[in-house]
Structure 1
Amino acid sequence: MSLFHTIVSNTIDYVPSNVVSIFAKKYIAGAYLEDALNLTKAFNQDDIMSTIDVLGEDVKKIEEASFYKNECIKVLEEIKSNHLNANLSLKPTQMGFALSKSLGFDNIREIVKRAYDLDNFVRIDMENSPYTTDTVEMYKQLRKEFGQHVGTVLQAYMRRTIDDIEYLSDDKMNIRLCKGIYIESEKIAYKKRDIIVENYKYCLEELFKKKAYVGIATHDEKLVFHAMKLIKDYNLHANEYEFQMLLGVGENLKQFILDKNHRLRIYVPYGIQWLAYAKRRLKENPNIIKAALHLE
């Protein structure tokens, strides 16, 4: 880690929100749903799909969970009424899962049911390790009820992921595969980058072998190249997978994926809780600050 990276990581939590917004605005659609819808419309015009995320997690009150549930349902309804090529991503703790598993499950089920009624899709994000098993089990249960209208996320840095793939393989899985960003102990998570990359490759091929629909979520060019080779080797059609990337990251790679005629979905977050998300992204990629200040 460079000195600049260390300084940013250690000080970003103390930077005023109006300053953070200068550097982080490329990562976030805006504070309101209308911002996310307008950005999605622009992406759709370029044949890019989106997944919309209402920013917020780890709620402390039942009323907060209810607010996010209703907002997520509104997202699905607005996607339908605006004829957008987009779906919804959500976090279990945003729906009250940390307060009560039954509360979180009931809220998420209601959202997935609405997606089912509207012929859309909900991605249940994977959070840190205390929620991994429950998230996998929730996905498996909702999958039986709502089929292809719900999916989840598996993280390549978790040692258990290959076993989770096997456990879920009785159903036709819909999985976003990412490297993983939460801080976990070495006992349950790989720490070395090269090992994480190799496990990503291993997990991706296992998912393809089991005929899962995979959201290949990575900004790593080598992993994108490897995925494209596997897609060719397994003779996959364009509607059997997709690449996924974050808003504001890897513009050249996005264009490369599109130029090779692969489908691409961009993560489009919005909401009044943008500050925590922005700080997390700046910690991960302090170079955006350098670029904004013309330091590189």
Structure 2
Amino acid sequence: MSLFNLLVSKTIMHIPGPMVGYFARDYIAGEKLQDAVNVTREFNSQGIMSTIDVLGEFITTLDQARGFKEQCLEILHAIDREKLDANLSLKPTQMGLLLDKQQAFANIREIVALADRYQNFVRIDMEDISCTDDTIDFYRRLREEFPGRVGVVLQSYLRRTPADIESLSDQPMNFRLCKGIYNEPRSAAYKDPAVINRSFVHCLDKMFQNKAYVGIATHDEKLVFEALRLIENYGLKREDYEFQMLLGVDEELRRIIVDAGHRLRVYVPFGESWLPYSRRRLKENPMIAQHALRQMLGLKRY
């Protein structure tokens, strides 16, 4: 890790909010739903799909969970009203998972039911390992009631993920596969980046073997290469998978993937609670801050 990256990762939680906002401004659609709608419409004009997410974490009351539920319902209304090529991502803890599991499920079910009515789709995000079992249980129950309208995220750094794929293979599966960003114990998660990458390829292979639809979520060109190799080996059609990337990250690679004829979806976050998300993204990828700093100083990258 470079000295700059180490400095960012160690100090990001103490950097003033306005400065974090400057570094992260290209990675958040804005504070309002309309901002996410505008960004999505621009992506759609380029042949790119989106998944819209309202930011917010660490809720403490069920009233807050109901508020986030209402925002998710409004996102689905807006997608249908504006005729956008987009779906919804949500976090179980935003819906109250750590406060009342049954109420959280009821909140998510109401959202998926509306997505079913609109013939749209909801992606249930995966959070830290304390939420993994419940999140998978929610997905299993909802896909049975609303087939084709709900998917879940699995993380390649968790040692359990291949077994989770097998356990879910009794019905059609829809996954987003990512590396994972939470700080989990070594007993539960791989720590070596090279091993995490190998696990990503192994998990993707196992998903394709079991005929899952996969959102291949990565900005790592090595993994894009491996994904393309597997896509070719399995003879997959364009509609059998998609690539997924974060807003503002490696636009050049995004364009390369789309120009090669593959489907791609961009994660479009919005909301007033942008600061915790931005700090987490900067800690995960200090190159964002380095790129913004170069722009601010008028320096070119060689």
TM-score, length-scaled by structure 2 = 0.96
Write out per-residue CA displacement over residues 254-273 of structure 1, whole angstroms, 9 at most, x where no aligned residue.
Answer: 01101110000000000000
Q: Is the 8 A contact 2:36 2:270 kept in 1?
A: yes
Cα displacement (A) at 1:93 = 0.2
Structure-2 residue corresponding to 1:264: 264
Paired residue for 1:5? 5
- Residue 48 of structure 2 corresponds to which residue in structure 1? 48
Q: CA deviation at 1:292?
A: 2.2
* Matched residue, 2:253: 253
Distance apart, 1:119 and its partner CA: 0.6
Deviation by residue 1:2-41 (Cα, 9 ceiling, x = unmatched): 2212221222222222111111001100000000000000
1:149 and 1:248 mapped to 2: Cα distance? 27
SS for the counterpart of 1:159 is coil
1:38-69 deviation line (CA, Å, top 9, x unaligned):
00000000000000000012310111000000
Which residue is 2:34 aligned to? 34
Matches within 5 A, 1:1-296: 1-294=1-294, 296=301
Distance 2:191 2:293 in 1: 32
Deviation at 1:177, TM superposition (A): 0.4
Which 5+ residue runs of structure 1 have no aligned equivalent?
A: none
Report if the CA contact (8 A) 2:23-2:293 is conserved. no
Q: Sequence identity, in percent?
A: 55
Query: How many angstroms apart in 2 are the aligned matches of 1:162 and 1:287?
Result: 31
- 2:51 and 2:236 mapped to 1: Cα distance? 22
Contact 1:151 1:174 in 2 (8 A): yes
Q: Is the 8 A contact 1:58 1:98 kept in 2?
A: no
Q: How many residues in Structure 1 have an aligned counterpart in Structure 2? A: 296
Q: What amino acid maps onto 2:149 in structure 1?
A: H
Could you list the structure 1 runs, at least 4 aligned residues long, displaced by more than 4 angstroms after superposition. none
In structure 2, what residue type is equivalent to 1:199?
S
Counterpart secondary structure, 1:51? strand
CA RMSD in angstroms, aligned pairs only: 0.9
Structure 2 runs not aligned, ≥5 long: none
Q: Equivalents in 2 of 1:203, 1:289: separation in Å? A: 31
Q: Contact 1:58/1:96 (CA < 8 Å) preserved in 2?
A: no
Does the 8 Å CA contact 1:72/1:88 hold for their aligned counterparts? Answer: yes
Work out whether residues 140 and 168 of structure 1, in 8 Å CA contact, stay in contact via their aligned partners in 2.
yes
